[in-house]
Amino acid sequence: MTLFRPVTAAAALFLTLGATLISQSSAPRANPAGNGRFTFALIGDMPYGPEGEMKFPNVIADINADRTLAFVAHDGDIKNGSTVCSDEMFANRLDLFNQVSTR
Domain count, the chain: 1
Q: Are residues 75 and 41 in contact, defined by beta-carbon separation less than 8 angstroms?
A: no
Q: In whole angstroms, give the CA distance from residue 50 to residue 68.
A: 30
Q: pLDDT band at 49, cuts 50/70/90? A: confident
**Residue 63 vs residues 15, 44, 46, 91: alpha-carbon distances, Å:** 21, 13, 14, 21
Which residues share a beta bridge with 71?
40
pLDDT of residue 98: 93
In a domain, 88, yes or no: yes
In a domain, 87, yes or no: yes
Look at residue 1 in the predicted model and tell me its pLDDT: 45
**Is 103 inside a domain boundary?**
no
Residue 34 inside a domain? The answer is yes
Residue 16 lies in a domain: yes
Q: Structural domain of residue 71, as residue ranges? A: 4-97
**Residue 22 is assigned to a structural domain of this protein:** yes
| 45 inside domain | yes
Question: Using one digit for the tens of pLDDT, what is the confidence trace for 60-100?
Answer: 999 999 988 989 999 999 998 888 999 999 999 999 999 99
Instruction: Tell me the backbone φ, ψ of residue 87, rounded to 5 degrees.
Output: -60, -35
Specify if 102 maps to a domain.
no
pLDDT, tens digit, 9 for 90 and up, residues 7-44: 555 555 555 555 555 445 555 656 666 667 788 999 99
